[in-house]
Every structure is written in structure tokens, then in C-alpha cells.
Amino acid sequence: MVAARGHRQAVLLLAPAVLLLVVLVGGSQALMLVASLGRRSAYGGVTHDWGLQNYLRALEPLYVRVLARSVGLAAATTIACLALGYPVAYWLARRAPPAMRRTLLVLVILPFWTSFLVRMYAWMFLLRTEGLVNLALGAIGLPALSLLYNPAAVLLGQVYGELPFIILPLYASLEKLDPELLDAAADLGAAPGQVLRRVVLPLTWPGIVAGSILVFIPSLGAYLAPDLLGGARYVYVGSLIQSQFAVARDIPFGAALSFALSAGVLLALWLLRRPLRAGAGESA
């Protein structure tokens, strides 16, 4: 009885979100799959001439290089966000005055109040040849630097944009950490570095995984930072897909790239499910 009621409640509570996801994600992926199997028509439409030709084309070295560059960007973004975000989250959760925590957390997500596009333009203003950074350098007599339109600028913009997404889950898992466990570890002879490695990191592993996924996946398909800060000089998979739809008018090929990327991410998550879940399981 109770179980049946709980079950019905769960269905009712989840139904709207599940429905929305099935229609929007499942539906759009299905459309992508169908389109990806077709051929581009003379006017930019899709002819129903089924085949795997678009997927074969995606495996050409040119496109594999683009994918590799994107994976590299996503990995570098994730690592940089972890390295920058973990100390911040640690400080927020364990050292910051409790009365200030809420305010500080709001500051972390404050950038969300401005459109990502606008913030990317702000970075362009800072980094371009006559930008604020170079003006400042010039003022103290230093030569101007070429800061914009290179992979480093893309990484910078990406890390800047994704950092809050990793701080929040890390904060949540660090805040739950029982301080008595850290005392116990030190008491049992663990030096501060060992406390971090053997206790803090394993116990906050779920936050590390959640935050990394939240950063890695959007970075993989990023196209705003690559286009605006990279000057489209280096093609990333996000911009490639976007240009297939918007510029090249090759919808089937864009759909194939997009579907392959989504499927690849899902497959990778499934293959890595054990280490991702059990990373904390450092047992002896």
C-alpha cells in the first residue's frame, strides 16, 4: 500500500521533467539521427537517401583533429577549473566565516546574471591589441602582447565561464565533510598532505566527478569562446557543427557530428561509470 502510494507519488513528481526531457532531448536526438543518415539537397535541405556516408566523413583525419582539439580543450578546462575551484570551494566551505558564506556563494554565481556572450565580448575588450591589458602594459612602457585569437585565450574564456559550475558541487561535498574525520586522520599520524590525499579527496570524490562532468561536457561542445576569443582560427567541434548548420548548409553532416558527439559522451560516461562512482572506494 505504502509502497504503491510512494510509487505513484514518484511518477507524478517526476512526470513533467521526464516528459520534457524525453521530448526535447530524445526528440531532438532522434531528429538528428534521422537527418544524419540523409544527404544534403541542393538547397540545403535533407534528401532521404539513407546511408552512413556522413559518419564516414566525420572519421576523416581533418575532423578527427578537430575532435581531438575539442577533447583537449575540454580536458584542459576541467583540470584548470578543478585546480582553481577546489581551493576556493574548500575555503568557502571550511574556512570562510559562516555568516559570510551565503553572500560569497552568491558572488560565485554572480557572473550568471550577465549573458555569456556579453562576458566573452568583455574579454575581447580586455585582451585585444588595443585592449585594456595592452593599454596598461603600454602605460608602463612594456611592448604590447598578442593575447587574443590563440588557444590560450580560448582556454581562458572557457575556464572563466565554467568555473562556477565546478565550485558549487565541490562546495556541497566539502561542506558535508565531518571535521572530526580530519582531526582523526591527523591524530592517526597523517601529515596535512596525506589528510588531503587519503581522506579529503576520496570523501569529496562525488563532488569532483559531478563538477568535472558539468564542466567537461559543455566545454566539449563550446563554440562561443572558440569563435570569439580564438577568432575561429582553430576549429573546435562546437563551431564546426554550428557552421555546418548555419554557414555550410550541410545539415546531414552537422547532424552526424552532433549525434556522434552526444553518443560518444554517453558511451564514455557509461564505460567510466565504475571509476566515477567508486573512486572514493579506497579500501584496504
Partner 1 sequence: MGRGAVSLRGVSKSFGTVTAVRDVSLDVAPGEFLTLLGPSGCGKTTLLRMIAGLESPGSGRILLSERDVTDDPPHRRPVNTVFQHYALFPHRTVAGNVAFGLEMAGRARADIVPRVERALEMVRLSGMGSRRVDQLSGGQRQRVALARAVVLEPEVLLLDEPMSALDRKLREEMRAEVKSLHRRLGTTFVFVTHDQEEALALSDRVVVMNDGVIEQMGSPAEIYDVPRTRFVAEFLAVRNILPAEVQSVDGPAVVRTENGLVLRSTAGGFVAGERLWVGVRPERMSFDGAGENRVAGVLEDRLFLGDRSEWHVRAGVDRLTVSEPGTSTGRQTGDAVTVTFETAALLRLVGPARRPPLP
Binding site for partner 1 (CB under 8 A): 178, 180-181, 183-191, 194, 198-199, 202-203, 280-284
Least distance in Å: CB of 181 to partner 1? 5
Contact 74, 238 (CB under 8 A): no
Least distance in Å: CB of 176 to partner 1? 11
HEC readout, the chain: CHHHHHHHHHHHHHHHHHHHHHHHHHHHHHHHHHHHCCEECCCCCEECCCCCHHHHHHCCHHHHHHHHHHHHHHHHHHHHHHHHHHHHHHHHHHHCCHHHHHHHHHHHHHHHHCCHHHHHHHHHHHHCCCCHHHHHHHHCCCCCCCCCCCHHHHHHHHHHHHHHHHHHHHHHHHHHCCHHHHHHHHHCCCCHHHHHHHHHHHHCHHHHHHHHHHHHHHHHCCCHHHHHHCCCCCCCHHHHHHHHHHCCCCHHHHHHHHHHHHHHHHHHHHHCHHHHHHCCCCCC
Beta bridge partners of 238: none
Give the span between the Cα atoms of 169 and 249, in whole angstroms. Answer: 39
Using the minimum distance from each CB to partner 1, give the nearer residue, 109 or 188. 188
Using the minimum distance from each CB to partner 1, give the nearer residue, 3 or 284. 284
Contact 230, 154 (CB under 8 A): yes
Using the minimum distance from each CB to partner 1, give the nearer residue, 130 or 178. 178
Least distance in Å: CB of 278 to partner 1? 10
Using the minimum distance from each CB to partner 1, give the nearer residue, 202 or 231. 202
Least distance in Å: CB of 178 to partner 1? 7
Using the minimum distance from each CB to partner 1, give the nearer residue, 206 or 218. 206
Using the minimum distance from each CB to partner 1, give the nearer residue, 82 or 186. 186
CB count within 10 Å of CB 94 equals 14
Least distance in Å: CB of 281 to partner 1? 7
Least distance in Å: CB of 262 to partner 1? 33
Least distance in Å: CB of 163 to partner 1? 27
Using the minimum distance from each CB to partner 1, give the nearer residue, 89 or 195. 195
